[in-house]
Amino acid sequence: MADHFLTLDSLGPTGVREILDLSHRFKREPDRHRGALAGGRVGMIFDKPSTRTRVSLEDAAWALGMLPIVLRPDELQLGHGETVADTARVLSRYLSALTIRTFAHARVEELAAHATIPIINALTDEHHPCQALADVMTLEEVFGDLRGRRIAFVGDGNNVAHSLIQAAGSLGFTLVVATPEGYRPDAAIVAAAREHASASGGAVEVVGDPRVAVAGADAVYTDVWASMGKEHEREERRRVFAGYTVDAAMMAAAGPGAIFLHCLPAHRGDEVTDEVIDGPGSRVWDQAENRVYTEQALLYALITGDRLGARLG
């Protein structure tokens, strides 16, 4: 059975560590793995828009020597009567791996259940594990070992928050999530991460007050208040999330030298001010760049099974 990457937990704590180590190495030594998967093909289904994920995945595939094939929903028979299972069976005969960005997480699970090639979640309503790999890589570039570090996530308890919660559980840092009531992260995801955290030394806290979350934080992370598919709630959410904007005062309430992270796209003036995202503590462009190395590592490791990069010398 192929290894899939549906959530950050799919890899297990050891697997996450291995992919991150490979990602750092791929960034340091960009030539060692160039063309390592020559002749491979990776399909990429996008049911939602994307700038970073699409371009970084194509970039990663190209660097490894693979043909990237981007598939928009209107170009596929999926959605015109063909089932997810049959799509998975057929695409498995053509491709080395398949990435999918879609709405319901169950759709990705169904694809994985019927595919014989690795399926990579490129964002669902519930998870964004590719993003979490780049987030952690960026944090490690600044802080080294994350054990004992405190990261604040301020905003909606969404897909990005869920994947970061899983990262805290497996890598042993403390994540404090601040959301308004009614926008909390999924309780089952939090509970599972807390269980993993008991082994890794990490912790996951969920609070209402953003000032409590950022106090003493090494990094402050935020994301859009209305994710893709929730755009119709934007005005209501602007009212509910008033007070959750990461501005200079919020950053000043964080630990000394705290950095700012955002998965992007940012809605400047809502969840973050220009002053913060363009300020000296912002690492958002490194974070976006790191999507390429983490996805190279992911594609390489899942397709070859060589998670340590041993075959690359």
For the annotated catalytic residues, the residue numbers are 101, 128, 131, 223, 263, 291
296 binds ligand CP (CB under 6 A): no
124 binds ligand NVA (CB under 6 A): no
Render 238-272 in DSSP notation, one character per residue: HHHTTT--B-HHHHHTS-TT-EEEE-S---BTTTB
Q: Taking contact as CB under 6 A, which single stretch among the options 44-52, 147-155, 189-197, 230-238 is the one that binds ligand CP? A: 44-52
Residue owning tokens 């190495």? 25
Count residues near ligand NVA (CB under 6 A). Answer: 10
50 binds ligand CP (CB under 6 A): yes
41, 66 in Cβ contact below 8 A?
A: yes
Question: Cβ closer to ligand CP: 167 or 253?
Answer: 167
Q: Which one, of 136, 80, 144, 86, lies nearest residue 111 by Cα?
A: 86
51 binds ligand CP (CB under 6 A): yes
Query: Contact with ligand NVA (CB under 6 A): which of 87, 92, 96, 159?
Result: 159
* Longest Cα–Cα distance in the chain: 56
131 binds ligand CP (CB under 6 A): yes
Q: Taking contact as CB under 6 A, which single stretch among the options 35-43, 62-70, 88-96, 257-265 is the one that binds ligand CP? A: 257-265
What is the spatial distance between Cα 202 and Cα 181, in angstroms, rounded to a whole number?
Answer: 24
Q: Taking contact as CB under 6 A, which single stretch among the options 93-101, 142-150, 219-227, 248-256 is the one that binds ligand NVA? A: 219-227
Question: Cβ closer to ligand NVA: 95 or 224?
Answer: 224
What is the spatial distance between Cα 32 and Cα 223, in angstroms, rounded to a whole number?
Answer: 34
**Where do the DSSP E strands lie in the chain?**
41-46, 67-71, 97-101, 119-121, 150-154, 174-178, 203-207, 219-222, 259-262
Q: Which one, of 206, 117, 195, lies nearest residue 157 by Cα?
A: 206
160 binds ligand NVA (CB under 6 A): yes
Binding site for ligand NVA (CB under 6 A): 123, 128, 158-160, 223-224, 227-228, 263
Binding site for ligand CP (CB under 6 A): 50-53, 123, 131, 263-265
